[in-house]
Amino acid sequence: MYLTKEEELILAGEYGFALQKAMEILVALGEIYGADKLIPIKSAQVAGVSYKNIGDAGIEFLKDFVDAGAKVSVYTTLNPAGIGEEVFMEKQREILNLYKAMGIEITSTCTPYYGANLPKFGDHIAWSESSAVVFANSIIGARTNREGGPSSLAAAIVGKTPNYGLHLEENRKATIIVEVEAKVRGFADYSFLGYHLGKALKNDVPYFKGLKVKALDHLKELGASMAATGSIALYHVEGETPEYKEALVDSVERLQVGDEELKEVKERFNAEWEEIDAIVIGCPHASIQEVKEIVELLKIREKPLKIPLLITLSRVVKALADALGYTDVIERYNGKMIVDSCLIVSPVEKWYQGIATNSGKASFYFSSAGLKVRLENTDELILGAP
């Protein structure tokens, strides 16, 4: 891989230990994946934030990095943090402070694009939250690989990323056409579709035909579910996403998805309401449109929920919900807004035995943690819950 004079000096340690380590990571990954050079990035988004995920090992690494003077050189935001008991929260705060010391904005969300960190079409970025990666690539048309926590941090520090994978136009073409014959109406239907395809497709770039998309949030969930059960980082939807016109190349395979395939996922996550202790919405973090929809459904429902409704969202969207009076309504109906955090990176199995959600991604992780799961569209959840 070609390196500029300055990059060589960073690698040789002339600019200190932190930059050197960061550069070593980028150069190694560039060599592994055959990059020709490093390219500048506009922003980074760093995973590896929850204490549940990175543990004491991660804290030690971050601490040593901070002591060595590590600072990010591009706009950088964080993934959601975990929530837990007192000791957990102490460690969690320590992690956030370490990231803050590196100059990272402590907006801990999987939807940075709803506010603080919004790239534009064609921007090269280094993001590591899988659902944000697929959103940035597919819906915005920015360019990022599925970074790991340490590699997105290294890219944030150096301000560059190796030029390979989805940074190259030729790798952004469709590798399979997915003809959707199934009925997909609401949020959970897109979850069923994404959940099924994530498992069926491996690391393809799917091109969807037959999807008439009503809400941006549905596309967000489609990508998040595919990225949870598989490793999809980019998809195109005919007539909807920004690169679909250039995405099709000759002779790619076709795959049909009908109601039957979606039903299989639905049956997998059909726990009874008696087994459910909480409703979780906001995986990925809820948009203001999703919050508004919930408020309207609660008003139709008229009576408060018997089990808590937990809505996870970014601070930006929460502020908007407060200003618009949505938070008050939600709290009146036994709902709770949770910011900066995420239940799938928290020790949720200690608190609940069953969760109802509209998210395929959340269903995947909650069931992996041993919980019973009910996966339904938002209106079915809010109107059907006890």
Is residue 148 near another protein by the rule CB under 8 A? yes
Site for another protein in 114-143 (CB under 8 A): 128
The distance in angstroms from the start CA to the end CA of the chain is 60
Is residue 54 near another protein by the rule CB under 8 A? yes
Site for another protein in 58-87 (CB under 8 A): 58, 60-61
Binding residues with another protein: total (CB under 8 A): 23
What string of DSSP letters covers 106-118? EEE-S-GGGTT--
Is residue 149 near another protein by the rule CB under 8 A? yes
Residue 116 token pair: 């603080």
Q: Which residues contact 216 (CB under 8 A, 6 or more apart)?
A: 139, 287, 289
- Which segment (6-14, 149-157, 193-201, 285-293) binds another protein by CB under 8 A? 149-157
Closer CB to another protein, residue 47 or residue 222? 47
The angle formed by the CA atoms of residues 243, 247 and 249, to the nearest 5 degrees, is 165
Is residue 32 near another protein by the rule CB under 8 A? yes
Give least dist CB 12 to another protein, A: 12
Is residue 3 near another protein by the rule CB under 8 A? no
Phi-psi region of 233 (alpha: psi -120 to 50; beta: other; left: phi over 0): alpha
Is residue 56 near another protein by the rule CB under 8 A? yes
Are the C-beta atoms of 283 and 380 separated by less than 8 Å?
no
User: What is the contact mask toward another protein in residues 7 to 26, using x (rule: CB under 8 A)?
Assistant: --------------x--xx-
Closest residue by Cα to residue 300 from 185, 380, 375: 380
User: What is the contact mask toward another protein in residues 180 to 219, using x (rule: CB under 8 A)?
Assistant: ----------------------------------------
DSSP E strand stretches across the chain: 38-40, 43-46, 75-78, 105-108, 126-127, 160-162, 176-180, 206-209, 236-237, 253-257, 278-281, 309-313, 335-339, 354-357, 372-375
* Chain residues that interact with another protein, rule: CB under 8 A: 21, 24-25, 28-29, 31-32, 47-48, 53-58, 60-61, 128, 148-151, 154
